[in-house]
A and B are shown apart, each in its own frame.
Chain A
Amino acid sequence: MSNPQQLRYSKEHEWLTAAEDGVSTVGITEFAANALGDVVYVQLPEVGATVTAGETCGELESTKSVSDLYAPVTGEITEVNQDVSDDPSLVNTAPFEGGWLFKVRVSDEPGDLLSADEYTEFAGN
């Protein structure tokens, strides 16, 4: 699997796009999706909610387990992916595209976000 070069990554296996008008799109990586197995339910933060970098902001349920979703940056949620709420398998089939989770207006970001190459090494793949 390859992690897109233009994205940045958290150690909790989220990716985020470069901000456009201050807003970044967030999802989980293919590595994380594969580790979870078939995702059957996602609980996303509410639009308008403030999320904090490194803190949980939702849940991902797969066949075997439930996992917390962490916010990779701090900011306000501007949009959530309704398609993924309706069809959580998008997280598995298109983790970097149609399986995106939410958009966030970034007010602060931690200093330890990773580049694609750093993340690839971190995830050991």
Chain B
Amino acid sequence: MSPSPRRTALDAVHRALGATMTDFAGWDMPLRYGSERDEHNAVRTTAGLFDLSHMGEITLTGPGAAAALDYALVGNIGALAVGRARYTMICREDGGILDDLIVYRLGDTHFMVVANASNAQVVLDELTARAEGFDTAVRDDREAYALLAVQGPNSPAILASLTDADLDGLKYYAGLPGTVAGVEALIARTGYTGEDGFELFVAPADAEALWQALTEAGRDAGLTPCGLSCRDTLRLEAGMPLYGNELSTALTPYDAGLGRVVKFEKEGDFVGRMALATAAELAAVKAPRKLVGLIAKGRRVPRAGYPVVAGDAVVGEVTSGAPSPTLGQPIAMAYVDSAYAEAGTEGVGVDIRGNHEPYEVVALPFYKRRK
């Protein structure tokens, strides 16, 4: 264990803004600047500005990079067009999820993998080991980038005022190199909030200038600095899984309802193929349990680890729970026995510190933005 958490290139900015900081995966990160509910609502209605520099970037280059990633990951990375990105996973031989990732194809032979901060070292080690024998170099780029995100309906207008890059031509899950406020950036239309938005990968030395330029450009557009607390409620409303909560080495992508990320049709073998093929067959016949949404009928908030109950029986477990600012009620994601997973199933509750509180079973997500 490292005794003192790492600080991002924007640390002084967070402190000047009076942020409440928290240790997250070994990083000292802003939890919130003011009210996390106001920050959440800003992203839903105007725009929010995040420091996500804790995310772990790993670069693969060389003629064998695509083949190496096709072997190392469950997705079809070789089929990815230059300038596009894909949500994918890295699994163990037994199908267990090591991390969920976004892979950007920056060139024919140039990829950037973005891992969760908590798993970045594991992913780096695994990619390095799995790339052996392929004509590719795996590079640890965690120190090479700061990552800022602008998320929310006003984010295209805010960013457009600072760049000549063709944002209209930049689709969801695409990325292109460009200049933002005089700073060289990889501009990606990705996020973890359920809103339109951008993630900007820049050199750490440029992070503060970019943050200030975005703050200035967004002043009249409701751009609000946002911490990790609202990022969690935003992704929960959007039904997006969080590693460590909905995803773990004990689960396959099929357990998490994300079997679509596994691409058996791609060329060549990949780590976990056999175990995942079995998991796919089982999921098609009868999944033992499913990831569902729960909406509280009362006001008490379910938390990760709380039992889901039906009568006296425990039928599942909450993986994430929070008060939903958008719905105005507590919500949760939970793994429940398939018999109770159908939306509208009656009689399901959550054991909240000994009290069985009634909950409605719903399909995910809780929130979907209007396009």
Contacts and interface: CB of A to CB of B under 8 A. Distances in A.
Interface of A: 34, 37-38, 40-41, 43, 61, 63-66, 89, 92
A65 B233 CA distance: 13
A72 B95 CA distance: 53
Interface in B347-362: 353
A93 to B, nearest CB: 9
Given A61-B323, A63-B229, A64-B229, A40 B36 contact: no
Given A63-B323, A64-B229, A40 B301 contact: yes
Given A40-B323, A41-B300, A41-B301, A63 B20 contact: no
A107 B301 CA distance: 34
Contacts of A38: 35-37, 323
Contacts of A37: 20, 31-32, 35-36, 229
Contacts of B300: 41, 43, 61
Contacts of A40: 299, 301, 323, 330
A110 B233 CA distance: 40
Nearest to B37: A38
B303 interface: yes
Given A34-B20, A63-B36, A63-B37, A41 B229 contact: no
Given A61-B323, A63-B322, A92-B35, 14 more contacts: A34-B20, A37-B20, A37-B31, A37-B32, A37-B36, A37-B229, A38-B36, A41-B299, A41-B300, A41-B323, A61-B301, A63-B36, A64-B229, A65-B303
Nearest to A34: B20
A61 B36 CA distance: 14
A120 B330 CA distance: 34
B37 A66 contact: no
Contacts of A63: 36-37, 229, 233, 322-323
Contacts of B330: 40
Nearest to B230: A63
Contacts of B20: 34, 37
Contacts of A43: 300
A36 B353 CA distance: 19
